[in-house]
Structure 1
Amino acid sequence: MTVHLLLSAGRGPQECAWAVAGLVAHLESSAADPDSPRGESARLAATPIESARLAATPIESARLAATPIESARLAVTRVESVPGERLGTYRSVLLRIDGPGAAEFAAGWTGTLCWQAPSPYRKVGRKNWFVISQPVSLTVPRTHFAEDDVDFVPCRTGGPGGQHRNKASTAVRATHRPTGLTVVVDTERHLSQNRRLAVELLRDKIARGNEASAQAAVTARWQIHDDLVRGQPTRRIRS
């Protein structure tokens, strides 16, 4: 089983990006140790900043070629990240969790997470930093275009073009059966040419529809950044 989990600092201060790094490191540590109490908080062997520096990347908003953390049950891979203002911090990290029990493990890390630690950037101040964690789907529905799925019907259209165009059925109505998209083409004097143009129009419409679906999926994923509710966390991690 595979589950994708997005941890985001939302619109919080830079300490929240530091908290994302610490929580990701802790999640990876928990997944890598099958004997760890996954339902409880545990202390990291390294400090949050040390753990974050080990996981740092200079590539902003890019896919990471990170080696998955293998364990007896789960493997965690960093798929994508957006670095924070400070080295070793993250505004968001997208994780892929693989293996039996991945859904149950991810459920324990879903919701508002609280990283409890004094800020490394302030001498005094708050010690609770909140991060949103939500499962996301990377599957984007796509429509495959094949000319065999198109029905063509010759038809007549009015307008200028001469006696041949007005009397002969040179125009074509093309319908893509799976989607119901329909175009009518009458720009050429020959049926075969209008048919070819109709195919290209349908192909372009379906390609633009696929692009819109992909963009909508990205937009929906980014909306998670605004879903952070501070307080009443589902999980607390103390460093």
Structure 2
Amino acid sequence: MQTKIIQITAAKGPAECTWVVAKVLKIFLKEIQSKNITYEIIHKENGVENGTVQSVVIQLKGKDFNQYVKSWLGTIQWIGVSQFRKHHKRKNWFIGCFELSGIQSESFDYTDIEFQAIRSSGPGGQHVNKVSSAIRAKHKPTGVQVLVSDSRSQHQNKKIAIERLKAKVNECYSEKLKESDKQQWGNHLTLERGNPVKVFIGTDFKKQKESKKYSSKRNQLKNDLRRELQ
């Protein structure tokens, strides 16, 4: 089972680029599902305009999908009229798709949680002081921990602790991703605008088809053959 982390980003591009990211994201997720590749969006930053995405980080899991992912890596171009500035002359917009290396997802496994029952403090009478109902939960891989004493029930506090701990671990991971984003700016600012790996056209976002002139190629082969026979 392979695991890769992919980032699709508008970098420092204008609102039009964040609109392109949102469109590309839908196409990308639809394609990977058809190829039996599972995914999880582990970080997403929305753009300023409604329905736009500044940057999204996706974790992919599956078998033998290196070649497919490679076909997406690089500059992606959209050719069309701005959705936000109708009279803007620019017709070509570029975003980037990169593989984030050196960063791993913090998988939340319940076996990695260490629980400790402690006595609750505060109001509640003698019952609170006698029963160790509060729960301290620690996620061992990250060291993140929470203390929960919301309920007199130890079982209920344990359930609450798990949810809060999971949220804090995800928050911790999101901070790592944000830091990784900063480290990727070098790639983002050097997009090869003249050599896109994918090109989409118009508001319906169709892929640009390469025109294949078979007749001209056939004629060229015939001419080459005639020259060899002469």
Report the structure, 1 or 2, having the larger helix content.
2
Report the TM-score, using the length of structure 2 for normalisation: 0.50
